[in-house]
Chain A
Amino acid sequence: MTDQLPLLRVEGVMKEFGLRRTASERVARSAAEAHRAVDDVSFALRRGEILGLAGESGSGKTTLARCIVRLIEPDAGVIELDGVDVRAASGPELRELRRRMQMVFQDPYASLNPRMTVATALLEVGRVHRRPGAENGEQFVRDALERVHLGPGIATRRPRELSGGQRQRVAIARALAAGPEVLIADEPVSALDVSVQAQLLNLFGDLRDELGVAILFVAHQLAVIAEIADRVAVMNRGRLVEVGETAAVFGNPQDEYTKALLAAHPHIRLSRVAS
């Protein structure tokens, strides 16, 4: 029965930002127009699936991701994790929901304290969420690092003593240390060289296979989504314009915006842009 229910259900979510008035609006004393960054977005994330969220910069991907974990409050809509109303939750209930939905950011510094060693950062998460094993520090850290294919030698380092790829692995390890069912990864590989990006994509695939964690994988590079996601949702100006199996959407896009994005995507095949 629970298998039929999506793990995460998002329905009609909306978020507006008030814009600063432009000079001419100030002169005319007119009100600034509200800007709808996320506009009536609905989708479901199934258990153990990787759902890609694509779209150009400014299309609302980050705002949507942050609304889901309530890093920002949506203005309207329903968000349910496993049948629990995320928007109505508060106190310990909200903390527990946030444990179950962890975020990974493009810039790993966003989740890693530069002054903390890797071990301290991982243990902190384990203790805050009272994870089993967190009382036995060393083993907990070793297991957490092993999950992201890092050796225990890294435990005593600080973020700046790591390469970009290692730093992102530690950020993922930190998210996993909370024992989440959902990872919301906002452009987690976008700042990395392709050589490192490939290895992190493999890691995300492994985490899904081995831990059964469902992943909302935000990326503006369509080819990345093509290789990691089971399904893809395409956003344009705050709206979801197309959702479907990755192969179907990329092979036979229905929406004009999706078609334009795919057409502009640079191929490594030897094709030239028209000049």
Chain B
Amino acid sequence: MDRTGSGLMSFIRSAVREITLNLHFRPGARLITLLMVALAFVVFNTFLIISWNLQSIMDREENLVGMEVFLQRDISPGEGRVVGDLISSLPGIKSVYYVSPQEAEALFRAELPGRTDLLDVMGSDFRLPASLQIAFETEAMSQERMSELSRTIGAIEGVKDAVYGENYLPGLIKTVITIRRLVILLGIVLVSSISLVVFYTVRLSVVRRSLTVNIMRTVGAPWWFIRVPFVVEGVFMGMTGSACGLALTAVLSEVLSGAVTHRFMPLSWMTLVILLGAVTGTVGALAGSYEKER
């Protein structure tokens, strides 16, 4: 067999031609495949938006689970901050916020406007005690850790009292943990099923062209020459499919925003969604061409 006139450039040019021919083939069938992929992603995206919003609600709830540490009256702001630094170095503490007597008074007036007379009665010399608002890391939010921390903090010099929601805390933590687990479980199920839907849809659209693959084999096309067009197709279908899915979900979200206040998912999640589409599409296309090529 003569090898004259053979060259990488010619090879690449033929492969590119093959890709464009492939993409022009049966636009109707491709549209249906795209629609399938897009619809599957609408379901997935809806789940993502719900869990994204659930996540921020839970974050807010968790931030309410804090501890209030009242300092002794004779503590100066400087000493108060030292106590604060000491506490923030304890394991499981997310943040410590120093509330000065002035701030405490402002807060009191803002939150209980009807009872400001109480402050006035105490006279101008009266000051509310300074306090520290403490937020915890998620892993520190258990009944045992909280009571342990409150004991430790209560023993620190200058601290008068450490108060936290002993009664509602365990229930809240259990609920939050359960919801998280459910969301992760559902997420795994959905990621797997969406991967399967995209995989099988794209694979089917490739297998439908098994005649082409067979002819390519018999005329001696190298494996990559046969598969590259399908991989490009898979990436294309997966990416445009998931992008269309995102667009559809965005429209849906916009329409529903009046009825249910919510936020759309963050940009990083959208990127991941499109990546998921591209990867599953590629794997599907590869599997489809592999099945027909030997």
Asked whether A and B interact, the reply is no
Chain B contacts to A: CB under 8 angstroms: none
